Structure 1
Amino acid sequence: MVVEVDTLETAIRRVAECLATRGRNLVTPEQPLDTKAVRNADLFAHRYGIGAHRWPLVDVVIAYGITLSHAHQTTAGMIVRAAQFEFDIVVLDAIVEASAAGLPSTIAVADRRMRDLLGPSLSMERAEAFTGEILSRRIASADASMAMTCTSIPK
């Protein structure tokens, strides 16, 4: 799936919608997502710090009337499902290029170009977590301190 958007934040949302519909929205993109798919996409996007209810997860589960356990199972299932897809996120190449200077993440994100590529609320750490978990790709290989694992992300 080629994702051509201006920000990684928007790309994460598109990937979330794809995973929430098990790819059905790729066949019929004009059809709106059903309620369950919207909820699941929001849970997935929340994992990476994106969405109406960014923090904490309990805000999301209360808003959707589900249990914390159900939210964890849903996002875990979507992460496993991601292996069935090959995502080509065009904006990611620009982010990798912008971070190639090896600047510490706080300085890199302060750079206007990097902020424009990430999106208004996506942090470099969450971007790195998404690319590592879903794409098996690092953004800033020069900065070893940014390496994130699945267990280091708040659930």
Structure 2
Amino acid sequence: MRTIYLDSVRTNRPTVEHATWLARLCGRVRTVASLPTRMILMDRRTAMLSVSSDDTAAGAVLLTGQGTLTALCALFETTWEAARPLGEIVPTGPNGRTGQQTTALGLLAGGHTDEAIAKRLGVSPRTARRIASELMDRLDARSRFEAGVRAVQQGWLPPRP
């Protein structure tokens, strides 16, 4: 069994304990800054996906079509390759940012609210605000707009067309 969690679970003791239990049973656990969607794949024949990526409590849909499953399996494999094993330290990029910070910066630049960023990263709105504040401090910016401009100027974000 392979499981991919958000990086934010690295600081959640019950989840880390669960992942450790899975590993003892030969499961493998990795984490990424952001997931494209939340899903469960079973034997490459069945998938369960949330009907809303913003509200996982809204329900799920069960899929069994071969073409859809092939695409979802490819998405999982790509995400798995980009993920880091739970026991490893999350690396920082050449600019010193974690994947979580880089994802948050992109979401900020896209105009997302702290609440939307928090949901995407699997953190609380307070943590999303802290991440944004840390990025603004590192960019020496007094506003989110100025942070976006400076992030582009420093090559942290690609310029928008």
**Normalised by the size of structure 1, how large is the TM-score?**
0.29
Higher strand share: 2
Query: Whose Rg is larger?
Result: 2
Higher helix share: 1
